[in-house]
Structure formats: C-alpha cells, structure tokens
Amino acid sequence: MEMTETRRWRFKAPEMEGPVARWYARVRGTARQRKAYRKQAAQLIAGLPANGRVLEVAPGPGYLAIEMARLGAYVTGLDISRTFVEIATDAARHAGVAVDFQRGDVAEMPFANGSFDLVVCQAAFKNFTLPRSALAEMHRVLRAGGTAVIQDMSRHATHADIDREVDGMELGRVGTFTTKATLEMLKRRAYAPAQFERLARQSPFQTCEIRTEGIGLEVRLTKEEEAK
C-alpha cells in the first residue's frame, strides 16, 4: 500500500548492531526470560491453522521465533539489524529448528501479498519511524482472516511498573540499572491505547483490540475475510 508519511521522530540511540546487539541478546536471553518466551509462543500460535505461517517483525535475537518454531509453526523473522539476523540464525541452528531470518525493513517488506496467517511484533513498534507504513505492510502480507499481534510498552507505564518488570528479570545489579534506564527512555516513544486506536483507524485494518497490563500494551488487528 503506497502512502506518503512523515517520519516519526526518534531519539538517536546506538544502533542495534555489533556489541550493542550482542549485549541485548545476552540481557534478553536469561533462563527466566526464555521460559517466558515459551509461554508467549504457545499463547500466540494457539488456534493457528495446520501448516500456519508466522512472520515475526523485528525478532532481535530470535528467541520468541525459535519457541514458536519448536511448537510446529513455520516461522520467518525480518529484522533491520544484520547482527541480529546472524545471532538469531545461529541460535535457531543450535536449537535444531528451522526459522528463516532475513534482513529487511518493516515499512517495505520483501514478501508477497497474503503470505502469513499471523504477524507478531514484540517490543519494537514504538521505534518504527513509519508506523502507518508498517501497519499497511502487515495488513498486506497477512492472509484474509489473519491477525497481527503487537506487544509493546504502554505510554502509561509507571516507574513502579517498570521496577516490577525489570526486577523480575533477574539481570544482576548492572543489567537491572541499565534496563530500567533504557525503558524509562523508551517510554517516551511508546503509544497510549488511544493513540494506537487512532493509528489503527488510519490503517487498512481500521480497528483493533487493545489490552494493557503492567508496562505492556497488546494490540490485535485482524484482516477482514474476503467477501464471497
């Protein structure tokens, strides 16, 4: 879907390449968090049709994509970071699962129309500089009746919410401090539910379902079935 969109401003943080990406992979790869990924994977692909195909947008080190693949889904991952694609590809190989990790931009995805039954985007949407284009592309690559699930921070997350979330990650003193500071910074870019509802109305999805809990916001957008 072609459109003209003004890029959303974003704070110029270090790019997720090289040492920064590898640090993030370590922080997100603790045993406790991998257990959480397994639980999330089962919830996300529940009800997926046989031979269902999943696209994870911005999978980072690939932990969630790998857990979905373990459960039998055909999973593709698309990330803008070359380092993350390398890390995720190695992680999938070591896990003994097949996940097709590719480098690419969510605002211009290299997939045919109607390629996937489910699109997942976790902890990344707030960083997209072209969010309307991203939603339009998610809609395009979904099959009719397919769903996009976006899980991210809520702009309404409080300091106490962030403290509880990070304290439960068991990251150690330095990791806890840096992760809390990072989330406090990223919250400035996060969407409030009302903001995302407006964004959804401007997209081909036109509507969405939103749920909030703790620091998190989950948005579900469904592509309408084709008229018979």
Q: pLDDT tens for residues 145-204?
A: 999 999 999 988 888 878 787 887 777 888 888 888 878 777 788 999 999 999 999 999
Tokens of residue 174, six digits: 């330095």
pLDDT band per the 50, 70, 90 thresholds, residue 42: very high
Q: 14-42 burial by CB neighbour count: b if 16+ within 10 A, else e?
A: eebeeeebbebbebbeeeebeebbbebbe
| Token pair belonging to 172 | 């150690």
pLDDT tens digits, residue range 203-216? 999 999 999 998 98
pLDDT digits (tens, 9 = 90+) for 56-96: 999 999 999 999 999 999 999 999 999 999 999 999 999 99
Predicted pLDDT of residue 1: 42
Domain boundary assignment for the chain: 18-222
pTM of the full structure: 0.88
The pLDDT assigned to 227 comes to 61
Locate the DSSP E strands across 47-126. Answer: 53-57, 74-79, 99-103, 116-122
**pLDDT tens digits, one per residue of 67-77:** 999 999 999 99
Note the pLDDT of residue 184.
75
Q: What is the four-CA torsion angle of 22, 123, 143, 104, rounded to 10 degrees?
A: -40
Per the CB < 8 A criterion, the answer to whether 63 and 40 are in contact is no
10-37 average pLDDT score: 82
Class of domain 18-222: alpha beta
103 strand-pairing partners? 79
